Chains A and B, each alone.
Chain A
């Protein structure tokens, strides 16, 4: 025991020599406060060690529940992000418009020069009939007339390229198509001669 502890003990021992009379008035005051406390507010007495164990157990369960719910939320968010990215990749690229040759755009120039005019082929608008039989083709056939009828009307030699594999479409080879007569381009030399002619004329 050091000096400080010894001094402390001396002071305590000195103070404990003070006589203290009984104080029943104080007990009545305390008793009134104890009675005023409602029984429902008091907890059932438990062994301190058991109570601490129960508190620790409850705290552990709470922590486990919080961790589990956090993990579920994180997994859900990751899944959602992955789904969004996948949907972006799966969207097909914008397709470039392909040239679709419809019947109304086709102008076929025959190889045979006997035909002076280009005839527009509108098989879907033409009533297709067989010349020999005069049989009227049904409406369904007018939508997709056979090439045989086409040949009869235009005397076009049917080539492989003009045979349709699918109704309503025509495959056209470059040889049989002449969309437009080329405009003869003036060469630079022609321009030169024109200028010379004009000068001579002046």
Chain B
């Protein structure tokens, strides 16, 4: 796979759409998406020999690489420093609101969040990580992760209110 360009192209074609959907919540535009995916696919082809089918599926392995590439991209672009919180409530977008939202609207609302808050929201609400894991991945304190989640909850609550009333 590493040196077989045909096989690499086939892999790219098979997983491109899946990787884009994983990457979209972490970006603000198509250019950001292309930059992240370019880096992610290079890492996939370079480290293909490390994939162990006994430890997980190929989809999960590729998703992990794409998320890490997206986080590296965000960390280069913005600083992840802000206030901290001891406790923070979780975020659950009401199913009724989700049903009313289109995919593009949902993506638009997520992209409206600040970079650090957006990353914490994606890792907590979409990927399912806890604050301890998020703090390790982003290199921030656990309290900072909680603060960003609380901030996302506050901002999204205000923005999604119009959909609730509609």
Q: What residues make up the interface of A, taking CB atoms closer than 8 Å to B? A: 3-5, 7-8, 10-12, 14-18, 20, 22-23, 25-27, 29-31, 33-34, 37, 39, 42-43, 45-46, 48-49
Contacts and interface: CB of A to CB of B under 8 A. Distances in A.
A20 B55 CA distance: 29
26 contacts: A4-B90, A7-B93, A7-B98, A7-B125, A8-B125, A8-B126, A10-B98, A11-B93, A11-B98, A12-B126, A15-B24, A17-B103, A18-B104, A20-B20, A22-B13, A22-B16, A23-B16, A23-B34, A26-B37, A27-B12, A29-B38, A30-B41, A31-B5, A33-B42, A42-B2, A48-B49
Given A27-B12, A34-B5, A8 B127 contact: yes
Contacts of A49: 52
Which secondary structure dominates where chain B touches chain A?
helix
Interface of B: 2-3, 5, 8-9, 12-13, 16-17, 20-21, 24-25, 34, 37-38, 41-42, 45-46, 49-52, 90, 92-93, 95, 98, 101, 103-104, 106-107, 125-128
Contacts of A7: 92-93, 95, 98, 125
A176 B127 CA distance: 118
B95 A10 contact: yes
Contacts of A45: 2, 49
Nearest to A39: B3
9 A-B pairs with the lowest CB-CB distances in the bound complex, closest first: A17-B103, A45-B49, A20-B20, A20-B17, A16-B21, A18-B103, A30-B41, A48-B52, A7-B92
Nearest to B122: A11
A49 B46 CA distance: 18
A176 to B, nearest CB: 104
Contacts of B9: 27, 31
A85 to B, nearest CB: 55
Nearest to B24: A15
A160 to B, nearest CB: 103
Contacts of A46: 49
A20 B5 contact: no
